[in-house]
Structure 1
Amino acid sequence: MTVAQPWVEKYRPRNVDEVAHQEEVVSTLKRSLETANLPHLLFYGPPGTGKTSTALAIARQLYGPELMKTRVMELNASDERGINVVRKKVKSFAAAAVGAPAAGYPCPPYKLLILDEADSMTQDAQNALRRTMEQYSKVTRFCFICNYVSRIIEPLASRCAKFRFRPLHQGVMRDRIEFICARESVSLDPEAFQLLASISGGDLRKAVTTLQSAVRLSGGSVDRQSILDVSGEIPQAAITRLLAACRSGVFDNVQQQVTDLIAEGYPAQQVLLQLQAEVLAAPDAPDAPDAVPARPRALVCEALAQCDKALQDGADEFLQLLHVGAQVQRALAAA
């Protein structure tokens, strides 16, 4: 069994046809590749749905693995997102002359500049790109990749052909995971796959990485507990106990459950995600057991959102979970 190479790289699509579950994107790009006349591109959608893989597959099909090294530049805009990067790296690459083509590949007379996580770029940097795109469009095509298209300024977005990448449903994910398991001689329990699909939430990269970590932990046979151990997922029983403590009306119970969660090292944001799922899955009929009516449910979701914002701003996890526990307890007491 080979584990020296990350599986997300080992099984990354090598051409556009291998990209999973993005039929509209693939069919449109294939027609563009046939003519070797790409527009500027804007790929957007959730993480792990194939955006970067598609951009690299396009580059490989256009230039081949060797010419890619000189004709393609990939920048991660979350690391290099200021206006100086646009003025120096981007502009110097965009302005450079196109070299000789490689035999056996279309090698159109332009280079490809891939800007990953472009929604992290500052407004000044995005504005500076407008003129660069116009000035060097004959020798350079731009490919912007982002999770949130609303964070790309309209003048940039309007210059690009937009492609939306959808989260992968369980059927597509199952096919890919089974293919990898067969190639790596891994036995994956059906319950383990269900948990893997639930944890990943349509993110194939996360699913493959979690699977490889579970294989390293347990060997060639992966069960549900192995997935749970490496995923960072909190046991459902712990979330159920926290919600039961909130229902009890006794704050000491809530404090004890929060203390236990923090002592186990569980991340607070994961607690919020699973607590939200538990509350939303509860029945809302007043006569149902463990019901959470509509108004308390809305108050709980509001409290979770405020806590998440505070955690993003660097607040203390223990205090924030105590606060959200008190808010949930108050909302449920008023039901």
Structure 2
Amino acid sequence: MALWADKYQPKALDKFVLHKGIADNLKKLVATGDCPHTLFYGPPGAGKRTLVMALLREIYGPGAEKIRVETRPWTIELPTRKLELELTTVSSNYHVELSPGDVGGSNDRYVVQEIIKDLAKNRPLDVATGNKGFKVLVLNEVDRLSREAQQSLRRTMEKYSAGCRLVMTCANISKVMDPVRSRCLCVRVAAPSSEVVQEQLYAVARKEALQVCRVQQCPLREDQAVAPADWEAYIAEIAGDIMAEQSAKKLYQVRGKLYELLANCIPPELLLRTLLLELLKKLDDEIKARPRATPDPRADITELAARYEHRLQEGQKPIFHIEAFVAQFMSRYKNWQLTAFG
């Protein structure tokens, strides 16, 4: 059974309700045969990728939806060495989608160069779809690319523009270099208002039975709590483990659970922020139960999480920074307990 988020999202540009103005303009652009490099920017969950997939369908037809997921090894010849790495891509006969920021460090620039060259050499030959003989490279989270990668991207955009078009997404456009932005059609995808979200939820609720809520309580109540997603409940469980015991053994167990979440495509920044909120909830309860306890550790822990969230943007392996945050939290929480209650 398809997830409702996938089941009810628009598949074509003329089906958009929320971003109808953007979709109509993109449809007109494709109709004129003009398909420039494009940069969609806006907060997570605003609908950037949905617009990208609808745009691909408008250019290439239903064939763009026949996708495959591949983890492909790349061997890139550098002046002084060979760079070997693996990268997961989502692709069809007409496009390739990837997140080069996952490579980390300065290696992402070589990945961008190599994939664009590979795309330019293998153009789609099916002119019956109305395409102009170019493939599309979808780059997610270009704001996470290193400065070197963005400089390389600017040059390759110009060199291979005849055989390759770039469609990029990002959350923070200020982290994308001006030379890259100036070569793109920049499309702002705003987050929906609470009223619009509520309206869409009602529309889905009228068509579905809301089975989980019905199992919890039937008939439904206006103040009925919404069941958390599985990954949210799992993070709450991890927070409970951290608060229950602060030891090397427990840290090792927590690391395994963090790996599980990352392997299931939970974004590391979201994981860290949700874990912080769960830990703060438990600290709140503990402080309320012992009001005389001093000092208050909440501000210190929030600052700690902000520091490691920043390191996530600069580092290569998210697990290193999230685990380091957990280890620091355990150490500080244990010291706080000894100071406050010892």
TM-score (norm 2): 0.60
Q: Deviations over 1:172-195 (max 9, x none)?
A: 222332333344333687xxxxxx
Runs of 4+ residues over 6 Å off in structure 1: 219-223, 260-263, 265-268, 274-277, 324-327
Match of 1:290 in 2: none
Q: Deviations over 1:90-123 (max 9, x none)?
A: 21102434413235xx434432221112223333
Q: How does 1:68-79 map to 2 (within 5 A)?
A: 69-79=92-102
Verify: 1:50 aligned to 2:73, yes or no. Answer: no
Task: Assess, with a 3 A threshold, how the Cα gap between structure 1 residues 315 and 172 changes in structure 2: closer, same or farther.
Answer: same
Task: Assess, with a 3 A threshold, how the Cα gap between structure 1 residues 309 and 111 changes in structure 2: closer, same or farther.
Answer: same
Match of 1:284 in 2: none
State how many pairs are aligned. Answer: 268
Code of the residue aligned with 2:28 in structure 1: it is R
Q: SS state of the match for residue 162, structure 1?
A: strand
Q: Deviations over 1:279-309 (max 9, x none)?
A: xxxxxxxxxxxxxxxxxx9x96676233332
**Residues in 2 aligned to 1:151 and 1:134: alpha-carbon distance in whole angstroms:** 21
Task: Assess, with a 3 A threshold, how the Cα gap between structure 1 residues 123 and 85 changes in structure 2: closer, same or farther.
Answer: same
8 Å CA contact 2:305–2:325 kept in 1: the answer is no
Q: SS state of the match for residue 167, structure 2?
A: strand
Match of 1:96 in 2: 122
Which residue of 173, 177, 188 maps to 1:149?
173
Match of 2:22 in 1: 25
Unaligned runs of 5+ in 1: 190-214, 235-256, 278-296, 331-335
Q: SS state of the match for residue 61, structure 2?
A: helix
**Residues in 2 aligned to 1:67 and 1:275: alpha-carbon distance in whole angstroms:** 43
Which residue of 33, 37, 41 maps to 2:34?
37
Q: How does 1:99-110 map to 2 (within 5 A)?
A: 99-102=125-128, 106-110=130-134
TM-score (norm 1): 0.61
Per-residue deviation at 1:316?
4.9
Q: Deviations over 1:27-69 (max 9, x none)?
A: 4323312313122111112211111111110010111112663
8 Å CA contact 1:307–1:320 kept in 2: the answer is no
Task: Assess, with a 3 A threshold, how the Cα gap between structure 1 residues 316 and 129 changes in structure 2: closer, same or farther.
Answer: closer
**Residues in 2 aligned to 1:233 and 1:139: alpha-carbon distance in whole angstroms:** 46
Verify: 1:59 aligned to 2:56, yes or no. Answer: yes
Q: Deviations over 1:122-142 (max 9, x none)?
A: 333322222221122233221
8 Å CA contact 2:96–2:136 kept in 1: the answer is yes
Match of 1:305 in 2: 303
**Residues in 1 aligned to 2:229 and 2:169: alpha-carbon distance in whole angstroms:** 32
Match of 2:12 in 1: 15
Task: Assess, with a 3 A threshold, how the Cα gap between structure 1 residues 186 and 67 changes in structure 2: closer, same or farther.
Answer: closer
Verify: 1:169 aligned to 2:193, yes or no. Answer: yes
Task: Report the more deviating stretch, 221-230 or 81-90.
Answer: 221-230
Match of 1:245 in 2: none
Unaligned runs of 5+ in 2: 66-91, 235-241, 259-271, 282-295, 309-319
Task: Report the more deviating stretch, 90-99 or 17-26.
Answer: 17-26
